[in-house]
């Protein structure tokens, strides 16, 4: 089995996983920026709790889909934020999920459903 076949086993992604990966496709971000990005991309529909966010980030780190980057200073309080970015594998699985969703949209455009 090749890596692409292996990654298909993880599809469909959960909504939280999809939006976190999608947020990171724009570039490295720290946790709070990911939470804000997900909320904005979902038009306020998804408001990740810190527990959900960091639980998903841990799973993504363990899977090798994201990496933790160098740390930036957060503010004058000297607290440090950890930045996360997509790996090639994370970008691949995100691309496969986007392609899967496009197929669903194309299929749904060809179907007439009563009441909609």
Tens-digit pLDDT profile for residues 98-115: 999 999 999 988 887 776
Does 83 reside within a domain? Answer: yes
Does 114 reside within a domain? Answer: no
Does 116 reside within a domain? Answer: no
**Closest to 27 in 3D by CA, of 78, 90, 76:** 90
Tens digit of pLDDT for each residue in 36-95? 999 999 999 999 999 999 999 999 999 999 999 875 555 555 567 789 999 999 999 999
Does 10 reside within a domain? Answer: yes
Angstrom distance (rounded) from CA 98 to CA 80 = 33
Does 15 reside within a domain? Answer: yes
Does 112 reside within a domain? Answer: no
- Structural domain harbouring 50: 3-107
* CATH code where residue 31 lies: 1.10.10.10
Count: domains in the chain: 1
The confidence score (pLDDT) of residue 7 equals 82
Q: Is the pLDDT of residue 17 over 70?
A: yes
């Amino acid at each position: 089995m090749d890596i692409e076949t292996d990654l298909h086993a993880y599809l469909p992604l959960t909504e939280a996983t999809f939006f976190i990966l999608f947020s990171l496709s724009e570039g490295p971000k720290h946790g709070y920026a990911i939470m804000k990005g997900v909320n904005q991309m979902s038009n306020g529909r998804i408001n990740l709790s810190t527990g959900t966010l960091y639980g998903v980030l841990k799973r993504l780190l363990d899977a090798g889909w994201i990496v933790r980057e160098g740390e930036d200073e957060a503010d004058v309080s000297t607290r440090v934020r950890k930045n996360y970015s997509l790996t090639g594998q994370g970008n691949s699985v995100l691309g496969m999920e986007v392609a899967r969703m496009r197929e669903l949209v194309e299929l749904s455009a060809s179907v007439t459903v009563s009441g909609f």
